Amino acid sequence: MSQRTWVPSPYGTIGPFFLKPLVDGCDDLTQWNGKKARGQQIVLTGRVVEEGNAPVLNSIVELWQADAGGVFPHPLDPRAAEADPGFFGWGRARTDREGRFQFRTILPGGSREENGVARCPHINVMVLAIGVTRRLVTTAFFSDTPESVDDPALNCVPANARSRLFAVRDAALDSGATPVYRFDIVLRGDHETPFFLD
């Protein structure tokens, strides 16, 4: 039996003027509902650059991630009842003149599918910008041993580009007790970030 299908509306660029009040206060994922998120706090920072390694200022980066226990606060996750009440999992930030964004969040836990497939700790990342007519989606992975990571999304990425999807601990940038991870996003050019089909 065929059912009528509605066609998804066409995407458009976010343009230059995504207003400040829509971004303010969205870059800290470490507390929610007056509670502190469980787990290791981190700073996730990086630069968004375009062809020629030029900074992309005024782009919007959004995140979605599991909590420290690898649970997504969403009804589709069978473990949703165990989700950290101090963690919402979503964030948004704007890039500055150097193309830099910065979030405070917690190190995500690995998650497991109902069929047993394991996802390695990761954060979903999307970029919106002038000239980007459809959102660009990628994933930041976290591991001390990137070579040995077995993750169903990462395994789809050409082997020589996988390292670009790992956020790198940068001890020189550590802010006090909070470790800083760098995740640069190259929209186009040398060392281009692998993006996923959306």
Partner 1 sequence: MASHPAKSTAPLEYAPYDDATQSLRQIPRYPRSFTRNPSQPLIRRPLTLSERTGPADLARRLPVDRMDLSRPDAGTARVAGQLIHVAGRVLDEDGAPLAGAMIELWQANASGKYIHEMDRHEAPVDPNFTGWGRLVTGAEGEYEFITIKPGAYPVGESDWWWRPPHIHFSIFGVSWMQRYVTQMFFPGEALNETDLLYNGVPDPEARQRITFQLQPTKVGIPNLLRYRQDFVMRGKRATPAVD
Decide if residue 106 touches partner 1 (CB under 8 A). no
Decide if residue 18 touches partner 1 (CB under 8 A). yes
Decide if residue 88 touches partner 1 (CB under 8 A). yes
Decide if residue 77 touches partner 1 (CB under 8 A). yes
Q: For residue 196, what are the CA distances in angstroms to 42, 135, 167?
A: 25, 10, 17
* Collapsed DSSP state (helix, strand, coil) of residue 126: strand
Decide if residue 58 touches partner 1 (CB under 8 A). yes
Decide if residue 26 touches partner 1 (CB under 8 A). yes
CA–CA gap between residue 82 and residue 93 (Å, rounded): 28
With CB under 8 A as the contact rule, the residue among 2, 17, 144, 177 that binds partner 1 is: 17
Residue 7 beta carbon to Fe ion: minimum distance, rounded to whole angstroms: 24
Decide if residue 173 touches partner 1 (CB under 8 A). no
Residues lying near Fe ion in the complex (CB under 5 A): 15
Amino acid letter for position 123: I
CB atoms within 10 A of CB 78: 11
Residue 168 burial (10 A CB sphere; 0-12, 13-18, 19+): middle
Decide if residue 4 touches partner 1 (CB under 8 A). yes
Phi then psi for 155, rounded to 5 degrees? -65, -15
Cβ distance to partner 1 smaller for residue 54 or 173: 54
Cβ atoms of 174 and 180 closer than 8 Å: yes
Name the site residues for partner 1 (rule: CB under 8 A): 3-22, 26, 32, 50-52, 54, 56, 58, 62, 64, 66, 72, 74-77, 88-90, 111, 113, 117, 119, 122, 124, 126, 128-136, 152-153, 156-157, 161, 187-189, 192-198
